[in-house]
Structure 1
Amino acid sequence: MRKIVSLVAVVAFLVGCGRGDQGQLVGVEGKKWHPEKPLGMTLVPGGSFIMGKSDDDMAALKNAPPKTVTVRSFYMDETEITNSEYRQFVQWVRDSVVRMKLAILAEEMGETPGAGGIGDYAFTDTDEANMSVYEKYMYDNYYSLGEGYENRKINKDIDIIWDTRDYPDEYYAEVMDTMYLSPEESYNGQRTPKVTHYKFKYSWMDISGAARAEEGSRADYIRQEEVQVYPDTTVWIKDFNYSYNEPMHNDYFWHDAYSDYPVVGVSWKQARAFAQWRTLYHNSYRKERGKHNVNSYRLPTEAEWEYAARGGLESASYPWGGPYTKNDRGCFMANFKPLRGDYAADQALYTVEAKSYDPNDYGLYNMAGNVSEWVFSSYDPASYEYSSSMNPSVNDENNMRKVVRGGSWKDVAYFLQVSSRDYEYADSARSYIGFRTVQDYLGTDVTLNQTR
């Protein structure tokens, strides 16, 4: 009898634990990964290049000495982020804030879905009959106590009512009233949104700090951020004294005529928040369909930006080669300030559409001119001397000077050179600074030397 029992146990072990791997080390399968190029992005194959000034340092800044560095492959936006794309972010934040305010008031007033009014906007995780074990635990221990509103499930299936004539009840009107300026702050009978309420909250982990620390808990390196997302449209006035730019202040961000133009008036902190939101937005869609998360969107490092701007051309002054800013037909190759006071000599007074002029050899538009671009790196004149030669990245949280690259519509040709460095403060916004994002490429099988 013991022999039979032992034989059954052995068979069970072979069948139950082996699972067809014949006792071999075969690894554990994860979710199937099917690489896909993000919409509006192009693949920049990894490789090495000479970063820094390859010719005379005309400005004598001595902040970009030549240095050979290597970067990994990544995807990059073909164009600067446009007004239309950034408006999607602003409106998502606005709608989320409204829905959260409606849900909180509905819960405070004891209103529930089905009765009409603000109750239809109540949190969707209060129905115990449809809760999972985890959701019920969280509700009993946190949500029912009025804690953790930011983790609650807001109702996204019901449309927000914007027309005051259609407000369902006074509670709804009370919430919506907080989203607009008071009559004393408005003029010409316009109902003006209170854009200071458009705030995006997110968290991130300081992995570099945690890796260098000898002690401390994980929570010590998780950072919480809250960023007001609406662009500063007053930059069109503040950046230029004694200049009439009110039409750009009034129309540039919201009017559909400028939808395909690069967004400006966005600080480094807002650009970084946009990248965080884009990751959240993309992954929430994939999660609903049981797909693997994509890598995070982020601002490019300074080395990545210069490598991409060069388009595979070694020691070139501009993305198209160089050293001239005109082509063989006498036309300017970018949107900048080519002559003293003559902003329109390149057929553009302010910015132009993001997909203007010819792209470089990586398919990237306006890597020189149009708007300067935020990158992730902090500005230190000596950073090339001590940064790594592999994926160099220098970002000091305490250094508020962040690098901007590429030159803009109001800059002279020097700032359009792919090696020229400039900076602005992280909490500042300008009428000539925008940004584009990147996403890491998963894998190492795409490098520049393999694509030649």
Structure 2
Amino acid sequence: MDMKKLVLLTVVLTVIMSCGSGDRGELVGVQGKRWHPEKPYGMTLVPGGSFIMGKADDDLAGIQDAPSKTVTVRAFYMDETEITNGEYRQFVNWVRDSIIRTRLANLADEVGKTPEDGGIGEFAYTDADTASMTVYEKYMLDNYSGLGPTGNEGRKLNKRVDLIYDQAEYPDELYTEVMDSMHIPLEESYNGQRTWDVNKFKFQYTYLDIQKAAKNKNLKRSDVIVQEEVMVYPDTTAWIRDFSYSYNEPMHNDYFWHDAYGEYPVVGVSWKQANAFCQWRTLYKNAYQKDKKRQYVNSFRLPSEAEWEYAARGGLQAATFPWGGPYAKDDRGCFLANFKPLRGDYAADQALYTVEAKSYEPNDYNLYNMAGNVAEWVYSSYDPASYEYSSSINPIVNDNSNQRKVVRGGSWKDVAYFLQVSSRDYEYADSARSYIGFRTVQDYMGTDITGNSGR
């Protein structure tokens, strides 16, 4: 009798538990939140598909580094324009402000100042007031603070208080001391102007070297975590160094920081800086996602060489230029891009240097200036034979030991050959040029989207 009651009780409990879960005891999988792909601001969706990559006609330059090959790429988002000065300044300013806040918090910690003390104390680490911390924050502080090189890794900055830039409104001498340390020394200033010491604008980030981890499964996770530190301010002296015996001082002095050039593509940025920007953009967006309790977005990154060429073609097979071709003029005799036409007549296309990032007509994927204006960094390393051995699906060749990185699209100082969607060029990863910029991509997540690349 007791055994029957036990069996009956077990059955009842099983039924109750099954009904309570709502799955009727079936294998329905873990039900997460419904995913709705969100088009990133300023980007366009490039549908996945196949295309013939490489030279579609005679290789007149005889480089023989781009033989034709059928390649397939997955869908991705891509910036409609090159990254502009205004957009890159957002990155630079964020890095600058983060460094200032860290220095303020460190000094406040050193002298024992808290928000109640006012002045620099308002910028103390948020854990200065342990009473307002969550249980998790208190646990992390007790168990992980002091483990890094400075002892302050992981501590949260107080970003609720605005930084003060007006010297007349500095709250105290300690605040003044920190701000003074971020400017060039007084003896190095001229004309009464003390500018920021941009050598201190450094962005630190870490990433997982997945390729290395996949090739050696015996490595520990710590062995494949790479830490980078990159100076983020563009090298404005590129305008002088790139052109000997040429007067380009106005571009050096004004191009990056002046509002007149805010919508122009950023230049003087190395491949390493472009990658750092991608890391920051991902961090910045996901900080917002976390605050709004939304799922994280995919990483922003530089496009592969195949993705760049596929996007530049805009769905046109065997085209010479993003608009088709084979000519760089339309039927009215107007140039279709910003480059160096007519045996070196820079002004013939209505521009001497760069033009605004959203200039000329976009291609069929709504991408502007995929030919001309500024050449663009891609993630791939340059190898003349890479088309021969790279995969035919989502191909990429990036060798960390090869510092020659591919640039695509040609620029305002290039002849039409380099504007062709199939033309390849390269520069070294730590080099910055007055004619090289970049744009970013983000992998598309969700239902597969395939374009008709057979037009």
Q: CA separation in 2, counterparts of 1:101 and 1:28?
A: 45
Deviates more, 1:160-169 or 1:393-402: 160-169
Q: CA separation in 1, counterparts of 2:339 and 2:347?
A: 9
How many angstroms does 1:201 deviate by? 0.8
SS at match of 1:210: helix
CA contact (8 A) 1:73 1:444 kept: no
Q: 1:112: which partner in 2? A: 114
Q: CA separation in 2, counterparts of 1:175 and 1:13?
A: 65
Matching of residue 277 in structure 1 with residue 277 in structure 2: no
CA contact (8 A) 2:339 2:412 kept: yes
SS at match of 1:300: coil
Counterpart AA for 1:127? D
Counterpart AA for 1:230? Y
Q: 1:241: which partner in 2? A: 244
How many angstroms does 1:11 deviate by? 2.5
Q: CA separation in 2, counterparts of 1:117 and 1:378?
A: 50
Matching of residue 158 in structure 1 with residue 158 in structure 2: no
Q: 1:402: which partner in 2? A: 405
Q: CA separation in 2, counterparts of 1:135 and 1:23?
A: 39
Counterpart AA for 2:14? F
Instruction: Please show how residues 125-136 of structure 1 align to structure 2 within 5 Å.
Output: 125-136=127-138
How many angstroms does 1:145 deviate by? 7.5
CA contact (8 A) 2:18 2:24 kept: no
Give a deviation string over 1:83-129, Cα, whole Å, max 9, x none: 00000111011111100110011111111112111110001123322
Q: CA separation in 1, counterparts of 2:5 and 2:101?
A: 65
Give a deviation string over 1:352-402, Cα, whole Å, max 9, x none: 000000000100000000000000000000000000000000000111000
Q: 1:362: which partner in 2? A: 365
Matching of residue 381 in structure 1 with residue 394 in structure 2: no
CA contact (8 A) 2:377 2:436 kept: yes
SS at match of 1:448: coil
Deviates more, 1:164-173 or 1:6-15: 6-15
Matching of residue 330 in structure 1 with residue 317 in structure 2: no
Q: CA separation in 2, counterparts of 1:158 and 1:434?
A: 34
Matching of residue 306 in structure 1 with residue 313 in structure 2: no
Q: 2:100: which partner in 1? A: 98
Aligned residues: 452
Q: 2:265: which partner in 1? A: 262
CA contact (8 A) 1:287 1:293 kept: yes
The correspondence for 2:191, drawn from 180, 185, 188, is: 188
Let me know the Cα RMSD of the aligned residues.
1.6
The correspondence for 2:89, drawn from 78, 87, 90, is: 87
How many angstroms does 1:132 deviate by? 2.7
SS at match of 2:377: strand
Classify 1:5/1:278 alpha carbon distance in 2 versus 1 (closer, same or farther; 3 Å): same
Classify 1:132/1:450 alpha carbon distance in 2 versus 1 (closer, same or farther; 3 Å): farther
Q: 2:13: which partner in 1? A: 12
CA contact (8 A) 2:75 2:450 kept: yes
Counterpart AA for 2:27? L
Counterpart AA for 1:390? I
Matching of residue 230 in structure 1 with residue 236 in structure 2: no
Q: CA separation in 1, counterparts of 2:397 and 2:285?
A: 28
The correspondence for 1:33, drawn from 32, 35, 38, is: 35
Q: CA separation in 2, counterparts of 1:178 and 1:8?
A: 74
Q: CA separation in 2, counterparts of 1:240 and 1:444?
A: 49
Identity %: 72
How many angstroms does 1:219 deviate by? 1.1
CA contact (8 A) 2:49 2:453 kept: no
CA contact (8 A) 2:409 2:421 kept: yes
Classify 1:382/1:450 alpha carbon distance in 2 versus 1 (closer, same or farther; 3 Å): closer
Give a deviation string over 1:50-109, Cα, whole Å, max 9, x none: 000010101111100000000000000000000000001110111111001100111111
Counterpart AA for 1:394? V
How many angstroms does 1:17 deviate by? 5.2
Matching of residue 419 in structure 1 with residue 422 in structure 2: yes
CA contact (8 A) 2:376 2:438 kept: yes
Deviates more, 1:317-326 or 1:117-126: 117-126
Q: CA separation in 2, counterparts of 1:5 and 1:175?
A: 73
Q: CA separation in 2, counterparts of 1:33 and 1:450?
A: 27
How many angstroms does 1:165 deviate by? 1.6
Counterpart AA for 2:13? A
How many angstroms does 1:2 deviate by? 5.0
Deviates more, 1:256-265 or 1:160-169: 160-169
How many angstroms does 1:152 deviate by? 1.4
Q: CA separation in 1, counterparts of 2:153 and 2:59?
A: 51
How many angstroms does 1:5 deviate by? 4.5
Counterpart AA for 2:91? F
Give a deviation string over 1:273-322, Cα, whole Å, max 9, x none: 11111111111111111101111100000000000000000101000001
Q: CA separation in 1, counterparts of 2:400 and 2:31?
A: 38
CA contact (8 A) 1:379 1:423 kept: yes
Classify 1:30/1:384 alpha carbon distance in 2 versus 1 (closer, same or farther; 3 Å): same
Q: CA separation in 1, counterparts of 2:379 and 2:184?
A: 35
Q: CA separation in 2, counterparts of 1:148 and 1:9?
A: 55
Q: 1:121: which partner in 2? A: 123
Give a deviation string over 1:232-258, Cα, whole Å, max 9, x none: 111110100011101001110011110
SS at match of 1:449: coil
Counterpart AA for 1:350? Y
Give a deviation string over 1:207-236, Cα, whole Å, max 9, x none: 111111141111111110111110011111
